[in-house]
Amino acid sequence: MAKYTTADQIDLPALAQRYELGRVRLTPLVGGAANSRFRLSCASGKFVLTILDSHDWSSAQRLAAHTHAVFRLGVPTTEVVPAVGGALITQLGDRPVILKKWIPGEVRQPLPVPHLPEAGRILARLHALSLRSLGCGDIPVGARRLSSNHMAEIPRFADGDFAAWLTDWLDRVRAVEAENERPSRVVHGDLLVDNVIVREDGRLSVLDWETISLDDPLLDLGMAAVGLAQDGGVLAPRRLDALLAGFGDVAPLSDDDAAALPMEIVHAALIIAFHRYYRHNVRFPDPPGAPSTGRWSGSWTRWRRRLHCLADKRCDRARRSLICFMLRRPVWPGEPSSASTARASLRERGPSGAEACGLRLTATKSTRPLGVSVGG
Ligand SMILES: Nc1ncnc2c1ncn2[C@@H]1O[C@H](COP(=O)(O)OP(=O)(O)O)[C@@H](O)[C@H]1O
Ligand SMILES: [Mg+2]
């Protein structure tokens, strides 16, 4: 089980003094999976305090610098609040913490269709940022892709069928990508619904720069498609069109890009599938005998732990399938001819397109609501 921080472990007076906040009130926040976060209210306003449980000091500092940099460049996101003396990251116990301004609004699941074009536009504008303007020399390259260490884990997965399925599809993706390299851009890497706030003024803000990297913008768009354009677990043409329409307002897709996008959506789904399985079955496996049902009570940490356990079970049963979906139909707007050809090539293999290619993705609802798990 991941180690999360609870409210009683936080030295509130020390924290308030460090950020000159006066008297503060702390409320745990749900959402996200990697860190512990709290809403902090005081006379000077509302903030989010994130205990970066999954970070060491230097990765925490990078996260803060990247968040600060994109905010400074006008990307609608949260503002990092420095401590007295200017540090963007401080230490609480043995963990790094970051304080950010609260964005009034809500995470809406699913993100309503009228907001999807704006999400697409924000993503395309991010891709247009130059590294130089960002002013951070340490943006990782291709960090959202499965690393060689990740790949080495796959053959060890207890679920051999899933491992074979994943390997097979990753090989196909690699073969296609090898023939179509695109210039890298600054990408978000995780534009899922819980990283988007619909603000009170009706506009969007994007959170969570943990996976910022330099990479193929189409893979990033594929991530956003998996994260934002599904409806009840199915990639929804109307939603995808809305997302892509906004993206295209800022960065119109070429025919080649439109043709390449379905495979990048698949690639994104495979990456998420890997991480879900790895997190819930390898890194933080279900403790033996842990209950998977029953009344959820107690602290939010316990509640979240139960949710993880349930997610484990769901991963294991993926093929028998809970919330199961297929990419029934790769869809993209405008239907340029090369895209139509790509779609036809998927379709002609069988009546339900991607399913007939062996592609079947299963979404599981858990702390990462849009995670895509395994399929048969
Ligand atoms: N600045 C903020 N304003 C309002 N809500 C926030 C803010 N930061 C985080 N949240 C809430 O916390 C959740 C998780 O935040 P996020 O930064 O994505 O953390 P994680 O890295 O754990 O996913 C979000 O889905 C949102 O509900
Ligand atoms: Mg998040």
**What is the residue-level pLDDT of the chain in tens, covering all 376 positions?**
456 778 778 888 999 999 999 999 999 887 655 678 999 999 999 999 999 988 999 999 999 999 999 999 999 999 999 999 999 999 988 899 999 999 999 999 999 999 999 999 999 999 999 988 888 778 999 999 999 999 999 999 988 888 888 898 899 899 989 988 999 999 999 999 999 999 999 999 999 999 999 999 999 999 999 899 987 666 787 898 899 999 999 999 998 898 888 889 889 988 988 888 888 788 877 665 544 332 222 222 333 333 333 333 333 333 222 222 323 223 333 333 333 333 333 333 332 333 323 333 333 322 222 233 323 2
Q: What is the CATH number of the domain that holds 93?
A: 3.30.200.20
Same domain, 53 and 118: no
Residue 267 lies in a domain: yes
What atom of ligand 1 comes closest to residue 78's alpha carbon?
1
Tell me, using a 6 A CB cutoff, whether residue 190 lines ligand 1: no
Residue 320 lies in a domain: yes
- Tokens matching residue 194: 């819980």
Ligand 1 centroid, distance to 38 Cα (angstroms)? 9
Tell me, using a 6 A CB cutoff, whether residue 29 lines ligand 1: yes
Nearest residue (CA) to ligand 1, atom 19: 32
Nearest residue (CA) to ligand 1, atom 16: 208
- The predicted structure's pLDDT at residue 34: 63
Give the integer Cα–Cα distance in Å for 262 and 230: 14
Q: What is the DSSP string of 349-362?
A: T-TTGGGTTT--EE
Same domain, 59 and 170: no
- The predicted structure's pLDDT at residue 232: 66
Smallest-distance ligand from the CA of 192 = 2
Same domain, 123 and 95: no
Q: How many domains does the chain have?
A: 2
Residue 13 lies in a domain: yes
Q: Are residues 313 and 376 in contact, defined by beta-carbon separation less than 8 angstroms? A: no
Residue 164 lies in a domain: yes
Q: Are residues 366 and 307 in contact, defined by beta-carbon separation less than 8 angstroms? A: yes
Same domain, 172 and 312: yes
Tell me, using a 6 A CB cutoff, whether residue 145 lines ligand 1: no
- The predicted structure's pLDDT at residue 289: 53
- Tokens matching residue 181: 């390299």
Question: What domain range includes position 76?
Answer: 7-102
Ligand 1 centroid, distance to 241 Cα (angstroms)? 26
Same domain, 145 and 93: no
Same domain, 157 and 180: yes
Residues in the chain: 376
Smallest-distance ligand from the CA of 4 = 1
| Residue where one domain finishes, among candidates 45, 69, 102 | 102
Same domain, 255 and 333: yes
The pTM of this model reads: 0.79
Residue 334 lies in a domain: yes
- The predicted structure's pLDDT at residue 54: 85
Give the number of other Cβ atoms within 10 Å of residue 167's Cβ.
15
Ligand 2 centroid, distance to 48 Cα (angstroms)? 13
- The predicted structure's pLDDT at residue 341: 37
Q: Which residue has the tokens 């999954």?
A: 54
Residue 303 lies in a domain: yes
Same domain, 141 and 63: no
Same domain, 152 and 284: yes
Nearest residue (CA) to ligand 1, atom 22: 32
Residue of 99, 199, 207, 211 with the most ligand 1 atoms within 8 Å of its CB, for mutation: 207
Same domain, 97 and 117: no
- The predicted structure's pLDDT at residue 286: 60
Residue 108 lies in a domain: no
Residue of 26, 29, 36, 203 with the most ligand 1 atoms within 8 Å of its CB, for mutation: 29
- The predicted structure's pLDDT at residue 3: 63
Same domain, 178 and 292: yes
Ligand 2 centroid, distance to 57 Cα (angstroms)? 19
- The predicted structure's pLDDT at residue 149: 97
Same domain, 150 and 11: no
Residue 1 lies in a domain: no
Nearest residue (CA) to ligand 1, atom 2: 102
| Residue where one domain finishes, among candidates 102, 127, 148 | 102
Each residue of 267-282: b (16+ CB within 10 Å) or e? bbbbbbbbbbbbbbbe
- The predicted structure's pLDDT at residue 36: 87
Q: What is the CATH number of the domain that holds 362?
A: 3.90.1200.10
- The predicted structure's pLDDT at residue 251: 97
| Residue where one domain finishes, among candidates 102, 125, 160 | 102
Burial of residue 74 (number of CB atoms within 10 Å: 0-12, 13-18, 19+): exposed
